[in-house]
Structure 1
Amino acid sequence: MKGAGMIKEYDIGTKVLMKKQHPCGSYEWEIIRVGADIKIKCLGCQRIVMLPRNKFEKDAKKTV
Structure 2
Amino acid sequence: MRPEYGMGDIVQMKKQHPCKKSEVFQITRMGADIKIKCQGCGAVIMLTRQDFEKKLKKVVSRSEEH
Q: Give the CA RMSD over aligned residues.
A: 1.2
Look up the match of 1:47. Answer: 43
Runs of 4+ in 1 over 4 A off after TM superposition: none
**Structure 1 spans left out of the alignment, 5+ residues:** none
Identity, % of aligned pairs? Answer: 56
Look up the match of 1:11. Answer: 6
Say yes or no: does 1:24 pair with 2:24.
no
Aligned residues, how many? 59
- Once the two structures are superposed, residues 6-59 of structure 1 have per-residue CA deviations (whole angstroms, 9 ceiling, x without a partner) of x53111100000011111121000000000000000000000000000000010
